[in-house]
Structure formats: structure tokens, C-alpha cells
Amino acid sequence: MTENAAVGAGVGAGVDAEALVGRFAQMFAALAANVERVVRGKRDKVELALICLLSEGHLLVEDVPGVGKTTLARAMSASVEAQWARIQFTPDLLPSDITGVSIFNQGTSAFEFHAGPIFANLVVADEINRGSPKTQSALLEVMEERRVTVEGTPHPVPRPFLVIATQNPVDMDGTYPLPEAQLDRFLMRISMGYPDHQAEVAVLAGAPTGAMLDSMPPVMGREDVARMIEFAQRLHVAAPLYDYVVRVVAATRDHPDLRLGASPRASLALLRASRVRAAAAGRSYIVPEDVKALAVPVIAHRLIVTPEAELRGRGGADVVGEVLASVPTPQAAGV
């Protein structure tokens, strides 16, 4: 058994998580460093994306074109030796273009399922808000249940399975905003942002991104990723932290600037992502830092701000920040 395999197997066999979490952190750092070779100056975004991957969640990247959204997805898939697919959402894109279709085979006199691009480990749903609501909703089942049902037959997607959807927040003409139900299915929403000056200079001076992507060596296999996912979800969470997560999420439900607060799915997602962040930091336990660091990307996109607050320029991230500044951390309660 390789060391990578031990990460997953060890937890299952009851081996001390303390000893294995260091290995997890090493692997995480190697993965992040590999992705950062092409997505430069965005270490924090890369780490969030990897946390999403290892939490088995989905990532919504909301940013203008040309900041590296697709590159991020391709680099991740190349790093984990995973199969990736890209779906360019357009108004005329049909659900079957995503999930696949059943075609009658005259030779066998039976319908055969031809899998669509969704059957990949990493799926880049580019400009997802340009797809029609019907097409967008085709993603609902597969994102949550990790399977596609065509003509009554379920077809599971491979694991790990990560949807990296992008959307352009500026050019809104001819777009269909994602419904709340679908937004809630994304573990995180991040914004890539422009690279800083140094990073952009390095991009210009470096090799072409496409060439680099083609020559990137994989850092780990799909099985390793699956074991890391399993390992992370078994990390210890102290009782006060459950309480803290619930307090933070519950505080959004009573906030006057919000029309809709975060759901229990948000609590689960926050805890799940926090576990991965803790393991990535080499800890076998979660601390309030993990929760606070992930609260904005995990919760903000699930909130619906009131029109009045929106007019004042407040968004979901502002509200989450305010909530974090008002809910006492378990340290304060315990000391």
C-alpha cells in the first residue's frame, strides 16, 4: 500500500489520524503547488477550489472572462490525473447535450445510452447562466445525487466529481440567473479576481499556459483523491464547534438585510469544507479559524439580500462578515 493510500485506509482502520494528517497536508500542498504553476498568484483561490474538490462539493466561479477560470479547472484535472470535460452553455444548449442520450441500436434492437460530457471527474460549466433554465436544471440531479437518470435508468458519474461553473457577473444580457435551489448546490462561490502586478508579469514572461497544461504531470490519482475525501470527513470536531457553525448559519436567518438566510445544507457544507481545510493545515481537528475562513465563500452565495440592502450596496459577503463579527467564538465561551 502506498503512503497516499494509507491516508484513506488508515482512518478506516483506526490508525491515529494525528499521524496521517501530516501526509494529507503534504499531498494537499503538492496539489496546490502543481495547480499554481499555471494559475499564478492565486494561491488562496486554488486552495479553496481544492477544498471544494476534496469536500466533494461544486464550485461556482463568478468573474469576468480571461482571469483563469477554465485554466483552474484544467489544471486541477491534470494534477489529479482525472477526466475533465467542458460544456459551453448557450441558450440553445439542450439538457441531453449535457447528460447524454439513448439511441436505438438497430443491430441489437435496443436503446443504448451515449453519455454526455457530464460523465467526467471535473466538469467545467462555462458561462452557466447563459444556458436556459431547463438546461441548467439538468445539472440539479447530477450535482446533488451524482447520477443521471435517463429514461428511468440511473447512470452514476465517476468519482471524484466536481462541477466548476463559471458565470460573468457583468454582461447580463441574454442570461438566465441561476435559481436559488441550484445556487444552494454549489459548495462555494469564489471570484478569481485579477492577478496582482507581479503575478501578471510572471504570466507574460512564462511559457504559454496551454503548453504547460499539456505537459503538467499528475500529482495523484483519482483513487488517492477519493481516499483523501474519505479521510477528511472523519476528522474530529469538538462539540462547541458544531454549536458555533449553527450559530453562524442561524444568525443569517434573522438578519434584517436578508430576505432568505442560509439553509441547514449550508451548515453541512461549512463543516465539510472546514474539515478539509483543517486537514490541509496538518491538523486532525477543526478550529474556529477554519469555520471563519470558509464562511464567506460557503454561505454568501446562498443568501438573498433585500432590495433595500442591495440598494445600499450590501451583498451576501458583507452580511456574513457582519455575522462573524457578532457571533462569539468557542474560545471566548470556553475561557
**Does residue 190 belong to the site contacting other proteins (CB under 8 A)?**
no
CA neighbours closer than 13 Å in the CB half-sphere of residue 247: 18
**Does residue 289 belong to the site contacting other proteins (CB under 8 A)?**
yes
Shortest CB 124 distance to other proteins, Å: 34
Q: Which is nearer to other proteins, 136 or 329 (CB)?
A: 329
**Does residue 36 belong to the site contacting other proteins (CB under 8 A)?**
no
- Contacts with other proteins by CB under 8 A: the residue count is 24
CB burial of 99-109 (b: ≥16 within 10 Å; e: otherwise) equals bbbeeeeeeee
Determine the number of helices (DSSP H) and then strands (DSSP E) in the chain: 16, 11
- Stretch 266-285: interaction string toward other proteins, x if CB under 8 A: -----------------xxx
Q: Is 218 exposed, middle or buried (0-12, 13-18, 19+ CB in 10 A)?
A: middle
Cell numbers 471535473 correspond to: 122
**Does residue 20 belong to the site contacting other proteins (CB under 8 A)?**
no
Q: Which is nearer to other proteins, 162 or 278 (CB)?
A: 278
**Does residue 143 belong to the site contacting other proteins (CB under 8 A)?**
no
Distance CA 100, CA 83 (A): 17
Asked if 241 contacts 317 with a C-beta cutoff of 8 angstroms, the reply is no
Q: Which is nearer to other proteins, 187 or 327 (CB)?
A: 327
Distance CA 113, CA 101 (A): 6
Write out the E strands in the chain: 59-62, 84-88, 100-105, 110-115, 122-126, 147-150, 153-156, 162-167, 188-190, 258-260, 304-305
Shortest CB 287 distance to other proteins, Å: 4
Q: Which of 58, 272, 292, 301 binds other proteins (CB under 8 A)?
A: 292
**Does residue 319 belong to the site contacting other proteins (CB under 8 A)?**
no
Q: Which is nearer to other proteins, 236 or 259 (CB)?
A: 236
Q: Which of 152, 256, 307, 334 binds other proteins (CB under 8 A)?
A: 334
Quick one: DSSP state of residue 13? T
Shortest CB 190 distance to other proteins, Å: 21
Q: Which is nearer to other proteins, 250 or 260 (CB)?
A: 250
Asked if 76 contacts 122 with a C-beta cutoff of 8 angstroms, the reply is yes
Distance CA 166, CA 178 (A): 11
Q: Which is nearer to other proteins, 153 or 331 (CB)?
A: 331
- Return the range that interacts with other proteins (CB under 8 A); candidates 147-155, 257-265, 308-316, 323-331: 323-331
**Phi, psi at residue 162, to the nearest 5°?**
-135, 125
Q: Which is nearer to other proteins, 1 or 332 (CB)?
A: 332
Within positions 229 to 268, which residues make up the interface with other proteins, using CB under 8 A? Answer: 236-238, 240-241
Q: Is the dihedral of CA 200, 204, 210, 215 positive or negative?
A: negative
**Does residue 299 belong to the site contacting other proteins (CB under 8 A)?**
no
Q: Which is nearer to other proteins, 45 or 292 (CB)?
A: 292
Asked if 316 contacts 249 with a C-beta cutoff of 8 angstroms, the reply is no
Site residues for other proteins per CB under 8 A: 236-238, 240-241, 283-289, 292, 324-332, 334-335
